[in-house]
Amino acid sequence: MDASPEWKVFYDPVHGHIEMHPLLVTIIDTPQFQRLRNIKQLGGGYYVFPGASHNRFEHSIGVAHLAGKLVQGLRTRQSLDITDTDELCVKIAGLCHDLGHGPFSHVFEVFMKELNPSSEWKHEEASVRMFEYLAEVNGISHVMRKDYGFQDQDFQFINELIYGPNPPGSKNLGDSHSWPYEGRPREKSYLYQIVANHTTGIDVDKMDYFSRDCHHLGIKCNFSHERYLVFARVCNDKIHGAQICMRDKEAMNMYELFHIRSLLHHTIYHHRVTKAVENMIVDALIAAENHFRLGDKNLTISAAVNDPSTYMNLTDVILQQILHSSGTELSTARRITERIFNRNFYKFIGGKTFEPDDVKLLDNAEKWKAKLRVWIEHVQKEASGQQPPFTADEFKVMPIKINYGMKNKNPIESLGFYKKDDPHEPIQLSKDEVSYLLPGKFAEIKVMLFYKGQDKDVVELAKRHSRKLWEELQQAPEDQ
């Protein structure tokens, strides 16, 4: 490793010239971070939108940049007890928060869940492990301690910024009382609202990927993260403690953040063809799970997440590896992958949007699968034996929860505001201070139905009777 790294300038299409601290440059130049060049930001979206070619690599650099800008702005505008080490920790967390993403980003989390429904694995967990591995094998942890004065508490702080309270490997460094973090005291609670904000969902991670996704997709983003960085301020609330608040006149800008989130989820992230492709990627990985081995330890795909040295080898490239495999044991996975590259995707049968309370059974996979079987029986009965036989396994129901980031709550209600003439006192804004044209509801469920087979007659038959499935899903479980 270079003993005397220097500040470097990266040119980013979203943020322009980004100046990076030498320690961050050292992290970027490791194989563990470079791995992110081969993980698409939008998963299967690149198979639909030609501009969606960006990767987790550039997003992570952008988050580190915005995190640094926000901390520096707070330090400049206010007399806060933010140290150079605090600032560096926040930047590192922004840079490393996505180290744990698997192939095709969030698609891999779906794979892990479908493979094992009881799995609680999230990429943030793997990010913490990968950061610790990166720092150790490249000698960076030694440099952080020796040259920058990092202590155990600082490493804990970085992990908490990425994961939240009680990250993997927590050492219980002290009496946490009712404060769930060990890395920094309650007095610095606002630092935990920068990279991954568990209070309001307003953080620089979202600000970067919304701006970046819109840029690459050619969509206008009306939210201004530049204005957020300028008007963000720390206020002390008796209940919530020190928190990042926003100028009252910026309320509509903050609503735009969640409006663009909703728009992207509806039109891009959950586009019908995007979801068809991602379903196929998940099915290919499941089919390959017991036959595809990784690294010197010969681990399966799912086992690799617990071993950073093996997980290093797991990127989007896995589809090409499956495609070019020759063993019969991978024939099913290879056939699905060939369909993807031939653009012979699963067929979209139909979709419908519900209010969450209308389809509560979607939270229970067994219950909605039972409803799917009832619907299949109905369709086959209507076909009167004239269609080829088909089963529920050939169909895929996808319940997709879309909200403003806090389930059915308005996240802006959790955000403190301040007025120009009293910048130290956090307040809540009423509708007559913002607008009566604001959303009245903040969550919905979009249900999509796909057919995995290739029989055109089955597709047409299923489409004709899709309304019956929506009726089934709206029936209460006790009606079964």
Give the integer Cα–Cα distance in Å for 131 and 123. Answer: 12
pLDDT at 177 over 70: no
187 and 223, same domain (yes or no): yes
pLDDT at residue 216, as a whole number: 98
151 and 190, same domain (yes or no): yes
Question: Residue 246 — left, alpha, or beta (φ > 0 → left; ψ -120 to 50 → alpha)?
Answer: beta
**Structural domain contains residue 220:** yes
205 and 312, same domain (yes or no): no
**Structural domain contains residue 413:** no
pLDDT at 174 over 80: no
258 and 125, same domain (yes or no): yes
pLDDT tens profile 230-287: 999 999 988 778 999 999 999 999 999 999 999 999 999 999 999 999 999 999 999 9
pLDDT at 160 over 90: yes
Give the integer Cα–Cα distance in Å for 238 and 3. Answer: 47
Calculate mean pLDDT across residues 439-468. Answer: 94
CA distances 190 to 71, 157, 206, 208, 257, Å, are: 10, 13, 17, 19, 20
112 and 42, same domain (yes or no): yes
> Which sequence positions are flagged as catalytic?
123
pLDDT tens profile 93-143: 999 999 999 999 999 999 999 999 999 999 999 999 999 999 999 999 999
Calculate mean pLDDT across residues 19-47. Answer: 98
Which of 293, 315, 345 marks a domain boundary?
A: 345
Give the integer Cα–Cα distance in Å for 203 and 197. Answer: 5
User: Which range of residues forms the domain containing residue 132?
Assistant: 8-270
pLDDT at 172 over 80: no
pLDDT tens profile 378-404: 998 888 766 667 889 999 999 999 998
pTM of the model: 0.95
CA distances 306 to 8, 98, 105, 159, Å, are: 33, 16, 17, 16
Average pLDDT for the chain:
94
- CATH code (residue 46): 1.10.3210.10
pLDDT at 418 over 80: yes
Number of domains in the chain: 3
**Structural domain contains residue 321:** yes
Give CA angle at 226 (224, 229), nearest 5°. Answer: 120
172 and 309, same domain (yes or no): no
285 and 256, same domain (yes or no): no
